[in-house]
Amino acid sequence: MIYWQIFLAFFIPGIFGYGGGPSSIPLVEAEVVDRYHWMTSREFSEMLAIANALPGPIATKMAGYIGYMQGGILGLLVALFATIAPSLLLMIALLSLLLRHKDSPRVKKMSVFVRPAIAVLIGILAFEFAFESAEKIGGWKTFVLAAVSFYLLEKKKIHPLYVIAGALLYGAFFLS
């Protein structure tokens, strides 16, 4: 019974959440807090605060943690399965179809038409992260940190691992 509830609680946000994991947060909250009362909304926002400070996809972190608290390891697996599987299977089916027709001029045109939109979409995300950062640490620091990171990543071709580690150290010592 509990496993079925866990499945539903994460299946619904997974299948209705367009725009990636972060956009499904309110849907997860509706299930977990409002419908099943597994957490209070205060507990939920505390969990979210920590989840946001840690790396990794947010949707699966929430699902894994809540599933584990409600149903142990099996609950964790059920919650992850419900979050990931439905949309992934759809993705694999559609892309396999696309790959089979990849030489068709029509399919080629589809990917040409969509490419500028993806560039714009990712560009908008870049600005959103920059604005969020500017709110937290101010515009100048954001600009300098972003410019230095861009230079190191793109011009010096330094692996993101070192740039991110550097930023974490900087944050721990100078932004605390």
Partner 1 sequence: MKYVQIFMAFFRSGILGFGGGPSAIPLVYKEVVEKYRWMKDEEFSDVVALGNTLPGPINTKIAGYVGYRVGGWPGMLIALFASVVPTVLLLIIFLTGLGASKDKPWVQGMSAAVLPVVAAMMAALALDFMKQAKSAMTWKGLILFTGGSFLVLQVFRWHPAIWIAALLAFAFFSGTAREQEQEKER
Taking CB under 8 A as the criterion, which residues in 135-164 touch partner 1?
A: 136-137, 141-143, 145-147, 149-150, 153-154, 159-161, 163-164
Token reading at 121: 């979409």
Choose the binding region for partner 1 from 1-9, 31-39, 45-53 (rule: CB under 8 A).
45-53
The site map against partner 1 for 92-131 (x = CB under 8 A) is x-xx--x----xxxx--xxxxxxxxxxxxxxxxxxx-xx-
What is the distance between the alpha carbons of residues 110 and 60, in angstroms, rounded to a whole number? 31
C-beta closer to partner 1: residue 35 or 111: 111
Tell me the C-alpha to C-alpha distance, in Å, between residue 54 and each of 51, 57, 150.
5, 9, 22
What number of chain residues touch partner 1 (CB under 8 A)? 94
Query: Tokens 């956009």 — which residue?
Result: 23
Spacing of C-alpha 46 from chain mean position: 18
Q: Which of 37, 42, 49, 156 is close enough to bind partner 1 by CB under 8 A?
A: 49
- Three-class SS of residue 102? coil
C-beta closer to partner 1: residue 1 or 19: 19
Distance in Å, CB of 98 to partner 1, minimum? 7
What is the distance between the alpha carbons of residues 120 and 105, in angstroms, rounded to a whole number? 24
C-beta closer to partner 1: residue 1 or 99: 99
Residue 40: exposure state from Cβ atoms within 10 A (0-12, 13-18, ≥19): exposed
Q: Give the containing element (helix H, strand E) for 173.
A: helix 160-174
Distance in Å, CB of 35 to partner 1, minimum? 19
Distance in Å, CB of 174 to partner 1, minimum? 7
Distance in Å, CB of 3 to partner 1, minimum? 17
Q: Does 87 bind partner 1 (CB under 8 A)?
A: yes
Token reading at 37: 């009362």
